[in-house]
Chain A
Amino acid sequence: MHCGMCLPTCPTYDVTKNEKHSPRGRIALMRAIADDKLKLSRAFGEEMSYCLGCLACETACPAGVDYAHLFEVARADVERSGVMASPTRSVVRSLLLRVLFTRPRLLRLVGRLLWIFQASGAQSMMRALGLTRLLPGRLRTLEPQTPLVLPRFSHQMIRPVEAPKGDKRYRVGLLTGCVQDLVFADINRDTADVLLANDCEVVTPAVQSCCGSLHAHNGESATACVLARRMIDQFDPFDFDAIITNAAGCGSHLKTYGRLLAGDPAYAGRAAEWDRKLKDINEWLVEIGFRIPEAKTGNNEALREVTYHEACHLCHGQKITKQPREILRSIPGVKLVELTESNWCCGSAGVYNITQPETAATLQQRKVGHIEATGAAVVATCNPGCHLQLANGLKRSCSDIRVTQPVTLLAQAYKNEAESVF
């Protein structure tokens, strides 16, 4: 099938109007390689890196083509073939993907060092002295985007098992993620609070591996399998009513463990059960009929306008679009203002803003323009990558619009109602 219905939804085709940069074009290239009509070349590898993997094409495809899977297989082929290999790239990739993102303790150590660097003022001093100019080109442009690491990580904020105050209706596992854990541990805390407020017992192991989404999306499928097994060992899906993730990019990958481990007799059964139990926090809350927070008594404040940016891997990858909006609308004092092109990629796309800074910046500006046009004071999203991308984009345009996540606003609303008692 090559009807072309995907073309207008593809951010890279939109920029270049070149078929090669469209889902239909990329699939044609993949097929030509599979049919031995085309050599797997560096140009093909570059094309695969040029794709954001935003999956808007999947949502648009009436024929039901599984682009995500084709794309992951193609990226894995590119890595295996070595067409993109260069000494620096290989070192950086294996350091990041095979070493750092497979060892949670090491990742936290690096995070801690980064925090010391930032909190001690060394970063600002380096910036003030202009020392950042000493960094190589690409790192120099990225340096101002370095996320601010939080002083405490998830395990310091969430106990391994926390019980709800009232009756326990559900027992859930909470995934703290890797980037999320370093940069947004507070959002993990909010997630736990919201779950507790909805009668869930929350199980959060202190040390958790990366879920492997970064690896699968970047062609490291073998490592992705190793990490998936490790994850299933840590959270036996048969022990829980649900396993909760609050990062869209992870969730989109986590829901495919069944396929990833289908050929592994020791894990296939549990992996299939895992897929059934794995829930995005927004999805889960709506599924169990989350409690609508009560309005704070005597609250006469004007409605605060909040807009919502859809993380690609939530709306296209997981088809979760209504639930976060339902949550936002349920919050007293919040008025949801729709964002133009809310499901158009912001350019974060995993490590895309590092590998393809120009296209990422174009998409970031387009997104920031739309956000500013809503007149909202706050923009909510459901993925750490998008969160950082939006925050950086808004900072660059000197906007004071705040970035947050629906679950944080909900947690805040529950806190507000508690305060109103006093």
Chain B
Amino acid sequence: MTNDNSSLRGELLRILPDLDVRSEAEELLAYSYDGTAALQQVPSVVVFARSTEQISEVLRYASSHGIPVVTRGSGTGLSGGSLPSPGCILLCLSQMNRILELDPANLTLLAEAGAITAAIAEAASGAGLFYPPDPGSMKISTIGGNVAENSGGLRGLKYGVTRNYVMGLEVVLPDGEVIWTGNKCVKDVAGYSLRDLFIGSEGTLGVITKVLLKLIPPPAARKTMLAVYDDMENAARTVSAIISAKIIPCTLEFLDRVTINCVEDYASIGLPREAEALLLIESDGHPAAVEEEAAAMKEIALAHGASSVETASTQEQAAGLAAARRTAFSALARVGPTTILEDATVPRDRLPEMVRHIQEVAERHQLRIGTFGHMGDGNLHPTFLTNEKDEEQMHRVEVAMKEIFAKAVELGGTITGEHGVGVAKKAFLPGAIGELNVEVMRRMKRAFDPRGILNPGKIFDPSPAA
């Protein structure tokens, strides 16, 4: 094994003498996981790419030798999307992290794929502009990874997800060819939208190396509120009521009691520990509209069982609340050794049913599930607080997970709202979207990557499972 690894390293160095490629055991182990719990696979070699040309050469070599290649940014993914495939070259883009251009005339920003999302948001803000997608992991996640997973975030409700901000991409195809798809035109209907195929393709169709993003003017005003509930379903009902009252705030986030307490343990910002549920509500836009929207939502929340609705008095307080919510997933790890985060999404009028179902499942299987999420998007993150070493418990987790996804699909929802399918959820994909849809995806994969070297085994297996 080690011999193979170092000979693969030698081969790559023969083609590209300047390539930073590692094969020592410590290096490989450090790249054997991403943010997903309980999944690990050691790669054959790790390549730290520094340019599109290098990536092109590496892929050309891998393609001609049938060696799998898995692309990785900061490894914050939560569905095993950047988990190494057996025997693969792990292609790490974290060093390709420059912001190449900010174009205020066209409101665009061009960055290398390894650029950190928060750095992009800061650069935009420095130019008086706004990049809305804000995945929970934005402080460290890379923009390339966001595009590949079509990441969402806390502002998805009003502003959409990463897809809505991608104008163009530079992509290296599996045989090493480099294409550009998209441009700075707001309107462009010339042919198939290849760009859209790569967004959310989870590294299976090509390696995204540059991203051209759309920026927008920032909202003039913002108001953040915290609604407190002693009943989880009332929070869900409030969300449904806000949406059906035709109000689209920028944020409608939900935290249950377990999550509230874990977040509070970390951030100590004074969340009410005894509440059963919290809604973090944020409205932004024109000051007058924000005032009106906030007042209407406060009224709806109180009418649907909120015990109190408080407004953040300062910008810092509001930012603190959002930041604390961003840590929810990680903070839940205080409860058990293994934290398995799920990503079930339903139409927003079915939220109360979904929330009730998750509670029932937790009780029936005697599991601890902390739930939080982007309730305004119908996107819930039921999070299993477990121990991967307890096999019996892990079995119950598996059964519970199936029941949660089955319910989500039954309610017209989906098995992942923003984390992707990766390896964690591929078993659920055919049930959620249908066998034929999966088969069409397989055909597309074959068209781009006939030898199947890019991120093999992710989203679906090459041929239907026997």
Contact = CB atoms under 8 A, between A and B. Distances in A.
Interface residues of A, number: 27
Nearest to B336: A1
Contact of A7 (B37, B48, B140, B262): B140
Contact of A47 (B26, B263, B334): B26
Contacts of B25: 38-39, 41, 43
Interface in B328-384: 329-334, 339
A39 B97 CA distance: 33
A287 B417 CA distance: 48
Contacts of B95: 17
Nearest to A61: B330
Contact of A17 (B97, B334, B339): B97
A18 B92 CA distance: 9
Interface string B75-86: 110000000000
Contact of B30 (A5, A17, A25, A61): A25
B74 A5 contact: no
Interface in B90-141: 92, 94-95, 97, 114, 116, 118, 137, 139-140
A8 B94 CA distance: 12
A62 B370 CA distance: 15
B30 A4 contact: no
A126 interface: no
Contact of B29 (A2, A3, A32, A61): A32
Interface in A40-68: 41, 43-44, 47, 61-64
Contact of B265 (A17, A37, A43, A64): A64
B330 A1 contact: yes
A405 B330 CA distance: 36
* Candidate in A37, A38, A44, A63 with the most chain B CB atoms within 10 angstroms: A63
Given A8-B139, A64-B265, A28 B331 contact: no
A413 interface: no
A282 to B, nearest CB: 19
A8 B26 contact: no
B212 to A, nearest CB: 23
Given A3-B76, A28-B33, A62 B266 contact: yes
Contact of B74 (A7, A29, A41): A7
Nearest to B90: A19
B181 interface: no
A159 interface: no
B35 A4 contact: yes
A23 to B, nearest CB: 11
Given A37-B29, A41-B26, A4 B75 contact: yes
Contacts of A8: 116, 118, 139-140
Contact of A62 (B24, B33, B330): B330
Contacts of A17: 48, 94-95, 97, 114
B74 A3 contact: no
B327 interface: yes
B32 interface: yes
A29 B26 contact: yes
Contacts of B31: 19
Interface string A9-24: 0000000011110100
A3 B266 contact: no
Nearest to B36: A2
Contacts of B299: none
B32 A5 contact: no
A3 B74 CA distance: 10
A1 B333 contact: yes
A17 B92 CA distance: 10
A4 B140 contact: yes
Interface range on chain B (Cβ under 8 Å from partner): 35 or more
A44 B27 CA distance: 10
* Candidate in B30, B35, B92, B263 with the most chain A CB atoms within 10 angstroms: B30
* Candidate in A2, A8, A32 with the most chain B CB atoms within 10 angstroms: A2
Contacts of A18: 27, 30, 48, 94
A3 B35 contact: yes
A22 B332 CA distance: 22
Nearest to B25: A38
Nearest to B76: A4
A63 B333 contact: yes
Contacts of A63: 266, 330-334, 339
Contacts of B140: 4-5, 7-8
B137 A5 contact: yes
Given A2-B35, A8-B139, A62 B331 contact: yes
Contacts of B24: 43
Contacts of B29: 28-29, 32, 37-38
B33 A2 contact: yes
Contacts of B26: 20, 29, 38, 41, 43-44, 47
Contacts of A43: 24-26
Given A17-B95, A39-B25, A61-B330, A3 B137 contact: yes
Nearest to A6: B140
Interface in B65-79: 74-76
Contacts of B327: 5, 62
Interface string B18-58: 00000011110111111101000000000010000000000
Interface string B156-167: 000000000000
B30 A19 contact: yes
A19 B30 CA distance: 6
Given A1-B339, A19-B30, 10 more contacts: A2-B35, A4-B74, A18-B30, A25-B30, A38-B25, A39-B25, A41-B25, A47-B26, A63-B339, A64-B333
Interface of A: 1-5, 7-8, 17-20, 22, 25, 28-29, 32, 37-39, 41, 43-44, 47, 61-64
5 contacts: A3-B330, A5-B327, A5-B330, A17-B97, A18-B27
